[in-house]
A and B are shown apart, each in its own frame.
Chain A
Amino acid sequence: MRWLAQLGDWFERRLQIAAPIREAAGHPVPRNTASWWYVFGSAALVVFMLQLVTGILLALIYVPSAGEAWSSLHSINNDVTLGWFIRALHGWGSNFMVAIVLIHMVQVFLFGAYKFPRELTWIVGVFLLLMTLGMAFSGQVLRFDQDAYWGLGIGASIASRVPIIGPAIVKLMLGGPIIAGATLSRFFALHVFIIPGMLIGFVCLHLLMVLKLGINEWPMPGRIVKRATYEAEYHELTKKDGAPFVPYAIWKDMFFAAFVLLAVAACAIYFGPFGPTGQPDPTIIQTAPKPDYFFLWLYAVLSLLPPSLETPALLIGPVLVIIALLLLPFLSGEGEKSWRRRPIAVLTVLLLAIMLGTFTRLAQSAPWSPHMNAWSGEPVPDKYLHGTTALERQGALVFQVKQCRNCHSLGDTGGQRGPSLDSVAVRLTQDQLIRQVIQGGGNMPAYGKNLSPAETTALVTFLETLHPAGQSPARDAARDFVLGQSGNQH
């Protein structure tokens, strides 16, 4: 063992890092910060390291060429020993990293950790979040399949809406006039060199500040942060009620990090790698691209915003959010830290979580997308055809053939873009049905030019049968009056 100590001495004499490491490891932290609430930052770092390792492994085989990327992903999945597992680890690691970074951010926000003197730590953290999202998006592009191709198209369409310089931004982003080889190459550079390089630098800064300024103490209701006194109070706290970070607090970080890695591996084994889906061939248009999980909410927002609000919301919204996040520590740099005394902070987090959760949930079923195959794949339920007349059946046929079904459901199958028509006859009279079919309106196209009078009559006659048993269809009382009792009964 003597030779080992000698070897250590030899290096230490030249490197001289033992003392600073010992000092950093042993720096006192407030005792009650050795909590399970304080493990998310280190877990994010550990998952980032997993991403670095698995990313480098994938780069050994992946070919960043639009012509070959897709097939190289297939050979990683199928031909390389455990290639599927490394891809799955990287893909699931990405999801976990975004999730943990978000949880970490919520925790430090609710614990008031962004307040004086840790403003810059928060700001660097905001950039780390943006870079993590940038990694997630660029990673989705490197999985160069149909979703990646059309996802880039969506990105380009959004970028193009920037006033004046939009088209230039698109060409800069795509590396040319269309989504092609140069596009993949530059997203490869972003994902593998540019963003990770910045991430590593910013993570070091972030950590350095955590060490220099000390971990945020457990917030106590009534313990007010003041610029003049905070540092002395914190120093006093760590002296009176502190314990060395190693080993007093670090064991929880280690346990949680190991648990997270295990969870990533379990997901990777159970669910396997993500895609790639279909080949990135723009002539194959039978595709319904969807973004990865953490961008699903955006997909929902883009579908639900009124058209006139969309461009301003897309271009100004993100800027406002980022500015708000960056200004936060300056707007409330002092005062209460405890979430028990900060109801608006708690409500903001809840509101955002519910909003993002709802949009994500909605995007999973995407009720705004027409079901492209409903008209040919989902027949009119039998119960709507029992005891119907020939004209009504003809109308049911028109209903299917004219693709009404793609947007309107019957018996819970079909599109949900428009309202379900199971009881449409209760809502609309014959005249209203005719008008709606011919002129459209309320987000429905006009079918006047695509239906012959006979088809319209058949269709509307069929639609008039769609009402629950025992509930009579809507009728125009005035019409009965004008036309007499012979009016329009059937």
Chain B
Amino acid sequence: MSNENTISRRSLFMKLGILFNGLVATALAVPIVRFLLSSVTRGRASAYLSWVPLGSVSDFPEGETRLATFRNPYVMPTDGKTVDTACWVRRIEGEQFQVFAVNCAHLGCPVRWFPQSGLFMCPCHGGAYYRDGSRASGPPERGLFEYPHKVENGLVTIQAGELPTPGGSAALLGKKPPCAG
């Protein structure tokens, strides 16, 4: 036992003990991390997105922009009212639509439509957008977020399900900013 090169029975067992715990910890870390990241991994394949109807085409007069609400397609039982979402629907003419998120492209505050001046104005930091959603003034770097939409059987339907954010997934954001730079 006095030889420095030999490992004592105790210290070997201690090292094996550390190794054993390390293995168990790694094995447990896998489900823990997967649980923690579940909201991220699930959203990766656009699994949160689906097509939601907003109302029939006749609900939206031509040349006007109206507030519409829809229920977010992904609902948990404790969500309460938070899954009810608003969006601005602009019917240009016929079946030509634009559907904007209410969330300002700057930091997400709800923009309001002023038909008289043809502007969307944001109450937070003063962003303003023209009627076609393009940036008019203020801090936003781009135009309003647009939901992909289609008209089917007389229903206006949009692809929604994720909170629109400036760095969010391209699928939801529609066209890129006209003045990206």
Report which A residues bind B (CB closer than 8 A): 65-68, 149-150, 153-154, 156-162, 166-168, 170-172, 174-185, 279-283, 285-289, 299, 302-303, 305, 307-308, 310-311, 368-370, 372, 375, 401-404, 406-407, 417, 440, 443-447, 449-450
Contacts and interface: CB of A to CB of B under 8 A. Distances in A.
Contacts of A162: 167
Given A150-B108, A370-B126, A180 B83 contact: yes
Contact of A180 (B67, B79, B181): B79
A171 B39 contact: yes
Contacts, number: 210
Given A161-B166, A170-B168, A182-B76, A446 B136 contact: yes
19 contacts: A66-B80, A66-B81, A68-B80, A149-B82, A150-B108, A156-B165, A159-B165, A178-B162, A279-B81, A285-B110, A288-B109, A302-B107, A311-B141, A370-B128, A372-B112, A403-B116, A447-B117, A449-B118, A450-B119
B13 interface: no
A283 B101 CA distance: 11
A286 B112 contact: yes
A483 B78 CA distance: 73
Interface residues of B, number: 59
A171 B141 CA distance: 22
A172 B40 contact: yes
Contacts of B117: 402-404, 447, 450
Contacts of A168: 40
Interface in B30-75: 36-37, 39-40, 43, 48, 67, 69, 72, 74-75
B17 interface: no
B76 A372 contact: no
B77 interface: yes
A372 B119 contact: no
Contacts of A167: 43, 165, 167-169
Contacts of A181: 76-80, 82
Interface in B139-174: 139-141, 161-163, 165-169
A446 B134 CA distance: 12
Given A283-B86, A307-B139, A440-B137, A178 B74 contact: yes
A447 B130 CA distance: 9
